[in-house]
Amino acid sequence: MGESGTLLRELLRQRRVRGYPSFCREYDKAAAKIDPGLMRGYPSKAQYYRWLSGELIGVPYGEHCRVLEQMFPNWTAEQLFGPSAGAINFVPEPAEVATASTQARPELAGLTAAYISRSEFHHQMPPHKLFDGASSIRMAGLSLNLLCQQYPDRDLVDLIETGAEVHCLFLDPDGEAIRRRCVEEDHPEDLLSTLTRVNIEAMKRVALKLSPEAAPRLRLHVYDETIRFNITIVNDTLCVVQPYLPNGRGLESPTLVAENGPNPGLFDTFNEVFNSLWTRSRQVTA
């Protein structure tokens, strides 16, 4: 989609709804008119920016669509997530829609975005957009560089101190699986083990900066199994998945983004994978 983004972005601009907190307030006002139970169901900050940029494939799940159509009467969800008319001063209200507010769309099992590589995903969704304001972060993979190397320690400490639960599941740096992966990626011996140890130690330093009340919310585990996916789950609503391909670095892997919805989908699949790995893992001791 072009630089102008979605129609939703243009309409929010016209209403002078600027920034994520302002949007959340407007979202809650609309949700309260439909069903108070929908309040605080607004998207994560990362999802919000994708809504504006036009990176979604299709439209969000039904409850989001209901609230947005309440915010912008007579506009359908498909129109709101379609391209804007460009840099115009006014977007007129559409003619009355004769059909139902939502149209049939391909079933994508909750998939909302796909990227050819992890690098492309990071360009579109840097760590601060993904993690800022999160109430929970669960990650499983190899070295977890996205959190350990690319997100500031100070910001991570602030997240945890304000209530965020952070679970990190590293590939065991002393295990057989990481040695096999090192050979497969044609790295010097012990390179991946060394990088993973560095990241685990970085998280241990974060733990030392936490208050006694917050410290239990940061949990570090390791597992020793053939690595198949890098999984990041934010707020139990958004899942970022990267497969580990044969003879390829993780950075070169395609990246999929899926949202949790009312029907079983990709989010549920990889949430189950994470939970299964976590159950079989062991805790990292100081």
Q: Are the C-beta atoms of residues 202 and 187 closer than 8 Å to each other? A: no
Query: What's the number of domains the chain is made of?
Result: 2
Tally the C-alpha atoms within 13 A of residue 253's C-alpha that lie toward its C-beta: 20
Q: Of 40, 60, 80, which marks where a domain is finished?
A: 80
pLDDT tens digits, 181-235: 999 888 898 899 999 999 999 999 999 999 999 999 999 999 999 999 999 999 9
Q: Of 80, 100, 120, which marks where a domain is finished?
A: 80
76 and 126 fall within a common domain:
no
125 and 24 fall within a common domain:
no
227 and 133 fall within a common domain:
yes
Q: Of 61, 80, 99, which marks where a domain is finished?
A: 80
DSSP per-residue letters across the chain: --TT-BHHHHHHHHTT--SHHHHHHHHHHHHHHH-GGGTT-PPPHHHHHHHHHT--SS---HHHHHHHHHHSTT--HHHHTSB--SS-S--PPPPPP-S-SS------TTEEEEESSHHHHHHHS-HHHHHTT-SEEEEESSS-HHHHTTS-HHHHHHHHHTT-EEEEEEEPTTSHHHHHHHHHTTPPTTHHHHHHHHHHHHHHHHHHTS-TTTGGGEEEEEE-S---EEEEEETTTEEEEEE--TT--GGGS-EEEEE--SS--HHHHHHHHHHHHHHH-EEPP-
141 and 278 fall within a common domain:
yes
The CATH number given to whatever domain includes residue 231 is: 3.30.870.10
Distance of CA 123 to the CA centre of its chain: 14
Does this model's pTM top 0.75? My answer is no
User: Can you give the pLDDT at residue 261?
Assistant: 80
Q: Which residues are paired to 256 by β-bridges? A: 114, 241
76 and 129 fall within a common domain:
no
Lowest mean pLDDT among 7-11, 39-43, 166-170, 202-206: 39-43
User: Can you give the pLDDT at residue 148?
Assistant: 96
pLDDT tens digits, 81-108: 888 765 444 455 554 443 333 343 446 8
Percent of the chain with pLDDT over 70: 88
The widest CA-to-CA distance across the chain, in whole angstroms, is 66
Average pLDDT in the chain: 86
User: Can you give the pLDDT at residue 206?
Assistant: 97
Instruction: Find the domain containing 225 and state its range.
Output: 111-283
User: Can you give the pLDDT at residue 100?
Assistant: 36
121 and 259 fall within a common domain:
yes
